[in-house]
Amino acid sequence: MKDKSSSILKTKRILVDIFQLNDDYRLGNSINVFCKALNTLHTLTIVNVTLCRTHWIVYLK
């Protein structure tokens, strides 16, 4: 099974349900992602938020 955190680190984006977007996903906020495979903690910054038909795409840097 593919680890969700490793896919976030590869694509640098998070898919969020259309009604689940809140103030945690503001531009400039930081998100911590822990990768179990590498046993590391990565801090990524939100740089863009885009609305698709059924979900939000949160782009990270």
SS (H, E, C) the chain: CCCHHHHHHHHCEEEEECCCCCHHHCCCCEEEEEECCCCEEEEEEEEEEEECCCEEEEEEC
* pLDDT tens by residue, 11-56: 999 999 999 999 999 999 999 999 888 899 999 999 999 999 999 9
Which residue type does 9 have?
L
pLDDT of residue 3: 77
Residue 6: which pLDDT band, with cuts at 50, 70 and 90?
A: confident
pTM: predicted TM-score of the whole model, two decimal places:
0.87
pLDDT of residue 41: 95
